[in-house]
Structure 1
């Protein structure tokens, strides 16, 4: 067994810690081929080749589970890994040159005009976020696309923040709350549920400070929107603590109860706009239900579509579901709008028709319009949402006279 390396020797030669090598062994990513009589790990040349592949793939940004999948793939060889690594390094060098050129352009612009165009700042932001200090090349390509796709929306949000600041608008005002939600929607669209990108963004923020400054947003504007988000979140928590019987009529409480039943049946633990739509149709007696029925929308048509789009989650452990399911963020916004609708009609509580009007109103204001309810009505059932709103308002007016 000459030529075998003990774990301490391998750690010293590679710069890895013994603890890391132990962990690789525990998760069976790098299991040493041999053991000594005293059960010490011994690594062969073949093990060292596998370790080289692991380290190269790690530097390329692969997760440990992805690395295992790669190495278990037939025909995946060390030369392939090294060639891929070389290709990525060339990309990184190219990105660094691009960033340097853009920074040089901004310096020249500052020297001549004492200001910088927002477009140039956004371009520089794109390159900064693409640098490999925080993101893998694959993530950089994804971020480049998303930044370009969302450039117009970011600029609108920034302009809106400055407008509200100049007006000295209260953080809990409807216009500022909407800005805060647009910011969060845009961030959600930017991250799109990618946990690794989110972690990299957090690391960059922690190490580099106020990254929004690189986005053309001064620290005062950034602080304003963060305080608005906090105020909105605090309001959501407060609203969640209010008993539903205080903000909903008895009929609306029944709508929510009936809508929650099919959501629980597919093991979902949060109530979105689809819950309200199903509940209105299941209850069947409200003004909202009559308006939906008049255009051919029924519980029997909507229920299977909701199941199709949400799917069915695995059953949770017994006793883990809360007795009352919370509302999703979009549904909370609908409730805000429904309260506004009720107040405009001089009502103190939300009726089912206010909920349906709010669902249709929320569809208009969101950067990525609407929730599951409006998607089903518009895309699956080919409903004209504007005509539905007019029909609903006619029903409401007829009841009030």
Structure 2
């Protein structure tokens, strides 16, 4: 018994267009054609179509489904196991979010306004989730907030208000007030991330990229840019023990201009390190070249000053603190750049 494409579409609830697409990509090729060239589907075709639709309910792509159906040992059990694991992961995340929202709900029912950190935690769970943080990292952030959020909430609000006043007054990044604000802001973030430089960069990325967080914190990209530049001026003094007066003059001219380019590059390099990518792999070589170029630009193209800055960063932990560059990452990227240099000068 054969079905024409229109009849099969009516019987299965699919569209003719969908069945034609399945044929075009060789996912469901009709077993026969009529003399006039119409597609004809037999019982085996219908059975395959049933399997396709069953697997579609597991949110598999058509390419994945085709691979499974075309390989007798294709591991459908593994696919189901993967889906179950994903659902378990989502259930855990949803359960944690539900627990937190119930606490927020109780505060609202008691006519208490939830604190900014309560809203931030709920928003991070809903908006970001695994987009920025692993489960362990989210637990770390929550534990840190639970430990000091009540104490820091007033200071967070005060710093945000201070930032808005400085911006409105047009106070320079170089002003001591701006630098004091930036240093305290970064210290607060380091407390929140328990001093984890990698987590600090992820938190920075989240606050930079998520407009909904800008509304809650009162710190948008303009505010973050101001803090970053003010912090760069504050950090300049840390190089003084390693540099001459002439070097410091060059740094004042070039160092701050590169500030915003560093966080995304540091994040990419850290991901390579976490993935255990080889230092001489193509991806890491490209990142090492970017790192070298940015470091050289920070020194105004002065190779001698560049070498001083690299040495200072390796030797002085104070320069790495709050930069997103811990000792492990510094060693990793240092090895990648050394391999670049040795390849260029065999």
TM-score by structure 2 length?
Answer: 0.48
Bigger proportion of residues as helix:
2
Higher relative contact order (CA 8 A, sep 6+): 2
TM-score by structure 1 length?
Answer: 0.43
